[in-house]
A and B are shown apart, each in its own frame.
Chain A
Amino acid sequence: MDRAVSLQSPPTVSTCTGVPNGKLGMWLFLASEVMFFTGLMGAYVVLRMSHPAWPGSDGHLNVWIGTCNTLVLICSSTTIVLALAASERQNLPAVRTWLLLTATLGSVFLVVKGFEYAAKFSHHIVPSTNVFWSCYFALTAFHALHVLGGIVFNLVVLAYTGRPAWWASRSRRLELAGLYWHFVDIVWIFLFPMLYLF
């Protein structure tokens, strides 16, 4: 019995589209997610443009905390790219390190968001306070749920690195996790200025 397992990526399965099925499926899923978030953001823009006196955050959102959190998410996008680069070099320890760092940075983003929510609640600011806070909580909560989903996806891929046999057959899922994580980053790239800066 040959127990030696190659760390190399599984061979590409030929498909009629020329794109691996998993990757095409992820892109189609992301396309539907783009429309989901555009619906939410579009509602925010229409409400804001049609509101005679837009309430805004009234100084209750700290731009610099939001800036640091945005930087955290941008850094996490880079670390998952570095995980993919390490995977191509067959460097499994480096893949683990970069994936763990990505999940950690995502968790930092959520913890900071949690502190922001707690600060709002302590000031009796809730979704029903006014139209701005309704939009703020809806947009950021849905985004945070997606970040949480991305962290879970990254941790599942991290678990695959535990056994070379698992990794040999599932390493391509790292690319799918990366695509999803970058999408989450892009959504925040638009949400941050909409809610914190404008």
Chain B
Amino acid sequence: MGEPSHISARLSLIVWAWLAGLMLLGVILSELSILPLPHRGVIAIVAGLSTVKALLVARYYMHLKGDQRLLAFVALGPFLLIALALSVIFSSTLIRL
């Protein structure tokens, strides 16, 4: 326990290819308007792609996949607070509407 489970060079290059590919896909979807979706739909898809990229970096490059669960809880803690803050912000926005 306690030893990091670092990924191999081959896997790190595969993750790099996914990160670059997803980033280019987001740019193409946003700039070329090839999807028959309203702008908000494209924003949702590109934001989803960014989330997938962040999860890839956290899981493989930051070793959350193999590290102790304690670190995963530390990493996820802020997101619980963020979710709480967002729910307060958006609920107050909806009430005003």
Binding site for B on A (CB under 8 A): 12, 14-15, 17-20, 23-24, 27-28, 30-32, 34-35, 38, 42, 46, 49-50, 63, 67, 70-71, 74-75, 77-78, 81-82, 84-85, 88, 175, 178-179, 182-183, 185-186, 189-190, 192-193, 197-198
Contact = CB atoms under 8 A, between A and B. Distances in A.
B93 A49 contact: yes
A105 B49 CA distance: 23
B46 A179 contact: no
Given A18-B70, A70-B23, A182-B62, A193 B47 contact: yes
B9 interface: yes
Interface of B is mostly: helix
Report the contact-size class of chain B (Cβ under 8 Å from the partner).
Answer: 35 or more
Contacts of A84: 6
A189 B86 contact: no
In order of increasing CB-CB distance, the 3 nearest A-B pairs are A197-B30, A34-B78, A78-B16
Given A185-B57, A189-B50, A197-B30, A81 B78 contact: no
B72 to A, nearest CB: 9
B4 A175 contact: yes
A179 B50 contact: no
B6 A85 contact: yes
A108 to B, nearest CB: 16
A139 to B, nearest CB: 14
Contacts of A34: 78-79, 82
B78 to A, nearest CB: 4
Contacts of A20: 2
A12 B3 contact: yes
